[in-house]
Amino acid sequence: MQKIFDKILFLKDKYQSNIVFDTRLLRQNDIFIGIGDGSKNGGLYYKEALKKGSRLLIINNKTINHEYIIHTKNIQSFIKKFCKYLLSKYKGKVIAITGSVGKTTIKENIYNILSKNNFSVSRSYKNYNNLLGLQFSIMNINLQNKYSIFELGINHPGEMKDLIKTLNPHYCLVTCIENSHIGNFKNFNNLIKNKLDIFNSKNLIKGVLNFRHENMVLSNRINSKISSINVDKIDKKVNKSKNLFKIDYFLNGNKNSIKSDLDGVYIDTAILSSIFLKKIRPLIKFNNYFLRESILESRGKLIIKYYKSKKLNIYDHSYNASPYSLKKQLMIFKQRKLIHKLCIVGSMKELGQDSINQHQKILELLFNLDFFKTVLIGEEFYKHKRSFRNFKFYKTTQDYIKYMRKDFLKSKNIFVMGSRYYKLEGIINNVK
């Protein structure tokens, strides 16, 4: 099997090939691995992969013969072994980031600062953070890079152990652990225990935990390699000059200064990125701005659209939401000196038994914020319809799209945020 692995590396080097699982992402000379089985077997798309110019295909269909096709009995086993092989050859340092909020933003922050300090660095693709997403990112790392950064996400007990066993990172960061997205973890303590499995890496050099809650489950997890901080309680001063925020924060009696062009919850994100980077590279220079370059395509960006010749400012946070991040972003939107604010909020998933309580708290906050108009989408909010008659409730995003025209004609500034499950980006895409 090593001969196949070496062939893949040869092709990647010669043609600058990527390894992809989805033919829609395939470019000429890329390497295609057909994952899945049955009707969802990626190997069924071999014709499309060849047509697009794939240089090599790894599939489990022995009936297909082609000079570019390699057959393997077990695709998942092949991927697992190939990832292990790649990491054994990788001589750089591996960084892993997990947490309830801010994983992707901090990953991008760290990537930008390291690269601007002339370090060769790779990062995982978008927010691909489950086991398959991690494997995809590992297979596409540059073996010559000094650092490789990976985002890790879990939905079930035991998943972090599998992720860490696969990756064994040298530096680990937990952005925060919030009493949200409990879902399959039964309770908060169980969620904490599973998140903290990130520190079980056999290669661990330094770990940082941003923990906002006092909990005894931590007592045996903090040691010389792992430091615990609470960014909320760090003494900080924020000064604004035009569109730039200068942030001074004090840690262990030392003053640190960074710059950002986004405020609110992102200031804590910038501080945490800075603290973690200092653990990795104590002498690193922070002469570059945090955050703006860290906002990905569908996250936290201002979109300008025109509806019936009317200009609309859409504050797009449609990718995902937790109680903590949603509260923070709603407060920021309220504080902005804007007129005719339309607030569209989608329900939050994976809150377990606390779902009713958390949605109730968001509704109470929205009531007190008193926007020009508030729209709630999703079954979780819809249950409270009778208690908040001033709001508009819809069970699905598609239900609201049918009636959104009137709201958009009367509004100038629109906030959109909610769980990925409700695909709120469909609202934005229908503004034409």
| pLDDT for res 85 | 97
Query: Which residues are bridge partners to 331 per DSSP?
Result: none
| pLDDT for res 396 | 96
Q: Per the structure block, which two tokens stand in for 349?
A: 């998933």
What is the C-alpha separation between 408 and 344, in angstroms, rounded?
11
Round the average pLDDT of the chain to a whole number and report it.
Answer: 89
Task: Please compute the mean of the pLDDT values over residues 332-337 and round it to a whole number.
Answer: 84
Q: Please check whether residue 223 is in contact with residue 389, taking contact to mean a CB–CB distance below 8 angstroms.
A: no
Alpha helices in 117-151, H assignment, sequence order: 131-139
- The proportion of the chain whose per-residue pLDDT surpasses 90, expressed as a percent, equals 59
Query: Which residues are bridge partners to 241 per DSSP?
Result: 244
What is the C-alpha separation between 115 and 100, in angstroms, rounded?
26
Quick one: CATH architecture of 2-73? 3-Layer(aba) Sandwich (3.40)
What is the C-alpha separation between 11 and 30, in angstroms, rounded?
9
| Residue 105: partners with Cβ closer than 8 Å, 6 or more residues away | 266, 269, 291, 294, 295, 299, 300
| Residue of 249, 251, 61 whose CA lies nearest to 260 | 249
Task: Give the pLDDT confidence of 214-253 residue by residue, as tens digits.
Answer: 554 554 566 789 988 889 889 999 888 777 788 999 988 8
DSSP 8-state symbol, 119: -
Q: Per the structure block, which two tokens stand in for 181?
A: 């997205």
Task: Give the pLDDT confidence of 151-194 residue by residue, as tens digits.
Answer: 999 989 999 999 999 999 999 999 988 876 677 888 888 888 89
Task: Give the pLDDT confidence of 277-325 residue by residue, as tens digits.
Answer: 999 998 888 766 676 655 544 356 788 999 888 899 999 988 778 887 8
Three-state DSSP state, 150: strand
Polymer length in residues for the chain: 432
- The top-scoring range by mean pLDDT among 185-194, 209-218, 384-393 is 384-393
| pLDDT for res 296 | 43
| pLDDT for res 28 | 95
| Residue 32: partners with Cβ closer than 8 Å, 6 or more residues away | 19, 20, 21, 23, 26, 42, 45, 46, 49, 54, 56, 57, 58
DSSP 8-state symbol, 18: P
Q: Please check whether residue 185 is in contact with residue 352, taking contact to mean a CB–CB distance below 8 angstroms.
A: yes
| pLDDT for res 293 | 55
Task: Give the pLDDT confidence of 72-83 residue by residue, as tens digits.
Answer: 989 999 999 999
| pLDDT for res 20 | 95
Task: Give the pLDDT confidence of 67-109 residue by residue, as tens digits.
Answer: 999 999 899 999 999 999 999 999 999 999 999 888 988 998 8
Q: Structural domain boundaries of the chain? A: 2-73, 90-294, 301-429
What is the C-alpha separation between 148 and 42, in angstroms, rounded?
28
The 10 Å Cβ neighbour count of residue 12 is 21
Q: What CATH homologous superfamily does 90-294 map to? A: Mur-like, catalytic domain (3.40.1190.10)
- Is residue 394 over pLDDT 50? yes
Three-state DSSP state, 154: coil
Query: Is domain 301-429 classified as CATH 3.90.190.20?
Result: yes
Pairing between β-strand 254-260 and β-strand 244-251 as defined by DSSP bridges: antiparallel
Q: Which residue has the tokens 């040298």?
A: 170
| pLDDT for res 377 | 98
